[in-house]
Amino acid sequence: MSTSLIILAAGKGTRMRSDLPKVLHKVAGFPLLAHAMTSGAAFEPERTVIVTGHGAELVDAAARAVDEAATCVVQEEQLGTGHAVLQARPALDGFRGDVIVLYGDTPFIRPETLQAMAEARKTHDVVVLGFQAADPAKYGRLVMDGEELQKIVEFKDASIRERAIDFCNSGVVSASAETLFALLDKVGNDNASGEYYLTDIVALAREAGLSATAVACDELETMGVNSRADLAVAEAAFQARARAEALESGVTLTAPETVFFAMDTHVGPDTEIEPNVVFGPGVTIENGAHIRAFSHLEGAHVSRGAVVGPYARLRPGAELAEDVRIGNFVEIKNAVIDEGAKVNHLTYIGDAHVGERSNIGAGTITCNYDGVFKHRTEIGKRVFVGSNTMLVAPVKLGDDAMTGSGTVVTKDVPEGALALGRADQVNKSGLARKMFEILKARKEKQAEGKS
Ligand code: UD1
Ligand code: CA
């Protein structure tokens, strides 16, 4: 059975107090919308339709960053969740399978939960995802009759008896496209909010002789983000789960509560991650690497046996081969560091390639930017770059080359050559001692003048 997703993301999210549409606020380095799309991706959806409204263009761009094939449809006026889903109809023209409706501001629905809904769809025409609410507050209430879902009543429209129900609507709904849109055609807005409620399709289904049921999930999964406080809670929930999963998969975290993962961080087993490490988007750590304390990694690939940090920064395009060493206060950007190479202290390597087993001395800088353009630095194999070398790109150092400390390299260095580019040193015999005597005498004189 093929599946398509409809993700509702038209709301403004007033309580965020933000110029940014709510679904673009980030958890674990990715917009809420990307989390919702990722949950739904478990179905390999045939089509993904995002219903946008506020900040439609920005939401559109974010959706495409996750899935180029996603279609965004604009809901000009937010007339309710039922009206929102109807906007997706033209984009699903000709689609014959199942539709799952998700909310763009609800990031944590697990693929397993959606799978359970798909299972329930085999025996029911409409399937709703519900949860036992610790505090049912304003959620829609699921009115059950045994296994059958009779209707969903919105809080505002509910009787006192219905309000006492604590089995609540998450908002996630599944039905065949045909059934969904046929039922939505019948939904009116004669209710306390004057909105077209998606939830009304349940009672309409029952009236039409169709069956409906609810699948239950953990309340945490259905958590929606409506405020900055919710966003912080969502971040904490994500991190708690990511840390537990990392530990479970064989990663050592010395202080799990201080390590922050992105939604797409991949860490292989037998990796050791010390305290206070932050992963931005796009990081892969292969088995058995060691990420030392206070390191920040983003868009980086770290191979087996590599050691990074403490206090290292890997920026997008950092590609570390096996057994590479990246030490304290080193920044690597858009650079490939080949097997066994060492960049141990106080260095910037950007737009560069460092060949295998080369050693980059403390304080080395690839001067990659001339104020307008970026340029590349090529360092061969087994090169020894002396401390405080400035590599003024574009520049190449051949295999087995060497640079003297403090050299400003502006010309290519042939293989096996030593580059020296610094002022020659002169020693003035006895002059230091003489200088000390003069200075001390001056200090004594000043002290006498004061007393
Ligand atoms: C909705 C459900 C309620 C459920 C709750 C769970 C309805 C009528 N009610 O209520 O049963 O318990 O979610 O959180 O469905 N949206 C649009 N266009 C619109 C209206 C909403 O895109 O015209 C989007 C919002 O951006 C949001 C989602 O749909 O992502 C839910 O809308 P919201 O207004 O928050 O619904 P609730 O009143 O919370
Ligand atoms: Ca809501």
- Contact at 8 Å (CB) between 318 and 333? yes
- Contact at 8 Å (CB) between 60 and 108? no
Determine the Cα–Cα distance for residues 174 and 80; give it in Å rounded to an integer.
18
Band of pLDDT at residue 197, cut at 50, 70 and 90: very high
Band of pLDDT at residue 42, cut at 50, 70 and 90: confident
Instruction: Determine the pLDDT at residue 182.
Output: 98
Annotated catalytic residue: which of 35, 54, 301, 345? Answer: 345
For residue 121, report the distance from its CA to the centre of ligand 1, in Å.
Answer: 22
- 375 and 357, same structural domain? yes
The residue whose C-alpha atom lies closest to atom 39 belonging to ligand 1 is: 139
Residue 446 lies in a domain: no
Residue of 22, 54, 73, 81 to test ligand 1 pocket, by largest number of atoms within 8 Å of CB: 81
Determine the Cα–Cα distance for residues 338 and 351; give it in Å rounded to an integer.
14
- 181 and 57, same structural domain? yes
- Contact at 8 Å (CB) between 72 and 56? yes
pLDDT above 90: residue 450: no
Residue 448 lies in a domain: no
Tell me the Ramachandran region of residue 256: left when phi exceeds 0, alpha when psi lies from -120 to 50, beta otherwise: alpha
Instruction: Determine the pLDDT at residue 170.
Output: 97
Instruction: Determine the pLDDT at residue 43.
Output: 85
Instruction: Determine the pLDDT at residue 95.
Output: 97
Determine the Cα–Cα distance for residues 39 and 211; give it in Å rounded to an integer.
26
For residue 123, report the distance from its CA to the centre of ligand 1, in Å.
Answer: 26
- 185 and 260, same structural domain? no
Q: Looking at residues 288-315, what average pLDDT do you find?
A: 98
Ligand nearest to the CA of 170: 1
Q: Looking at residues 279-297, what average pLDDT do you find?
A: 98
- Contact at 8 Å (CB) between 391 and 364? yes
Catalytic residue list contains 35: no
- CATH number for the domain spanning 296: value is 2.160.10.10
pLDDT tens digit sequence for 86-98: 999 999 999 999 9
- 237 and 203, same structural domain? no
Residue in this structure with the two tokens 């770059």, named with its chain if needed: 385
At 73, give phi and psi (nearest 5°). Answer: -120, 140
Question: Of 41-45, 55-59, 228-232, 259-263, which range is least confident?
Answer: 41-45
258 within ligand 1 shell (Cβ under 6 A): no
Ligand nearest to the CA of 167: 1
51 within ligand 1 shell (Cβ under 6 A): yes
Residue 289 lies in a domain: yes
- 31 and 81, same structural domain? yes
- 252 and 173, same structural domain? no
Residue 279 lies in a domain: yes
- 169 and 83, same structural domain? yes
Asked which of 154, 188, 222 is the last residue of a domain, the reply is: 222
Q: Looking at residues 414-430, what average pLDDT do you find?
A: 96
- The tally of CA atoms less than 13 A away on the side-chain side of residue 171 is 25
Q: Dihedral through CA 411, CA 412, CA 418, CA 422, nearest 10?
A: 20
Q: Looking at residues 104-128, what average pLDDT do you find?
A: 96
Asked which of 194, 222, 250 is the last residue of a domain, the reply is: 222
Q: Which amino acid is at 262?
A: A
Q: Which amino acid is at 176?
A: S
pLDDT above 80: residue 451: no
Q: Where are the beta strands (DSSP E) in 355-433?
A: 359-360, 365-367, 377-379, 384-385, 390-392, 395-397, 402-403, 408-409, 418-419
Instruction: Determine the pLDDT at residue 158.
Output: 97
Asked which of 222, 245, 273 is the last residue of a domain, the reply is: 222
Domain extent, residue 295, equals 228-419
Ligand nearest to the CA of 137: 1
The residue whose C-alpha atom lies closest to atom 8 belonging to ligand 1 is: 197
- 171 and 277, same structural domain? no
Determine the Cα–Cα distance for residues 267 and 308; give it in Å rounded to an integer.
14
Atom of ligand 1 nearest to the CA of 84: 18
Residue 119 lies in a domain: yes
- CATH number for the domain spanning 50: value is 3.90.550.10
Determine the Cα–Cα distance for residues 448 and 435; give it in Å rounded to an integer.
20
238 within ligand 1 shell (Cβ under 6 A): no
- Contact at 8 Å (CB) between 432 and 446? no
Residue 148 lies in a domain: yes
Determine the Cα–Cα distance for residues 282 and 24; give it in Å rounded to an integer.
18
Determine the Cα–Cα distance for residues 301 and 315; give it in Å rounded to an integer.
10
Determine the Cα–Cα distance for residues 213 and 118; give it in Å rounded to an integer.
12
- 216 and 240, same structural domain? no
Sequence-ordered list of residues with C-beta below 8 angstroms from that of 16, at least 6 positions apart, any chain: 22, 25, 226, 227, 228, 231
Q: Dihedral through CA 435, CA 438, CA 441, CA 445, nearest 10?
A: -130
Q: Looking at residues 181-210, what average pLDDT do you find?
A: 98
Q: Looking at residues 367-386, what average pLDDT do you find?
A: 97
Determine the Cα–Cα distance for residues 198 and 207; give it in Å rounded to an integer.
16
- Contact at 8 Å (CB) between 325 and 338? no
Number of structural domains (the chain) is 2
Q: Looking at residues 175-188, what average pLDDT do you find?
A: 98
10 within ligand 1 shell (Cβ under 6 A): yes
Residue 431 lies in a domain: no
The sign of the torsion formed by the CA atoms of 112, 213, 36, 241 equals: negative
What b-and-e string marks burial along 186-214, b requiring 16 or more CB atoms within 10 Å of the CB?
Answer: ebeeebeeebbbbbbbbbbbbeeebebbb
pLDDT tens digit sequence for 318-363: 999 999 999 999 999 999 999 999 999 999 999 999 999 999 999 9
pLDDT tens digit sequence for 250-266: 999 999 999 999 999 99
**Minimal CA–CA distance to 144: which of 160, 125, 167?**
167
Q: Counting every residue, how long is the chain?
A: 451
Residue 440 lies in a domain: no
**Minimal CA–CA distance to 356: which of 346, 373, 374, 342?**
342
pTM of the model: 0.93
Band of pLDDT at residue 160, cut at 50, 70 and 90: very high
48 within ligand 1 shell (Cβ under 6 A): no
- 201 and 92, same structural domain? yes
pLDDT tens digit sequence for 53-75: 999 999 999 999 999 999 999 99
For residue 224, report the distance from its CA to the centre of ligand 2, in Å.
Answer: 7
Q: Which amino acid is at 161?
A: R
Instruction: Determine the pLDDT at residue 12.
Output: 86
- 182 and 80, same structural domain? yes
DSSP states along 172-214: EEEEEHHHHHHHHHT----STT----GGGHHHHHHHTT--EEE
**Minimal CA–CA distance to 322: which of 348, 287, 291?**
287
165 within ligand 1 shell (Cβ under 6 A): no
For residue 226, report the distance from its CA to the centre of ligand 2, in Å.
Answer: 7
For residue 164, report the distance from its CA to the centre of ligand 2, in Å.
Answer: 20
Ligand nearest to the CA of 73: 1
- The tally of CA atoms less than 13 A away on the side-chain side of residue 88 is 32
Sequence-ordered list of residues with C-beta below 8 angstroms from that of 112, at least 6 positions apart, any chain: none
For residue 60, report the distance from its CA to the centre of ligand 2, in Å.
Answer: 21
- 211 and 101, same structural domain? yes
Atom of ligand 1 nearest to the CA of 103: 30
C-alpha distances (whole Å) from 298 to each of 294, 346, 360 are: 13, 19, 22
Q: Looking at residues 39-62, what average pLDDT do you find?
A: 95
Three-class secondary structure of residue 43 per DSSP:
helix
168 within ligand 1 shell (Cβ under 6 A): yes
- Contact at 8 Å (CB) between 33 and 40? no
DSSP states along 299-331: SEEE-TT-EE-SSEEE-TTEEE-TT-EEEEEEE
Q: Which two tokens stand for residue 369?
A: 């930017």
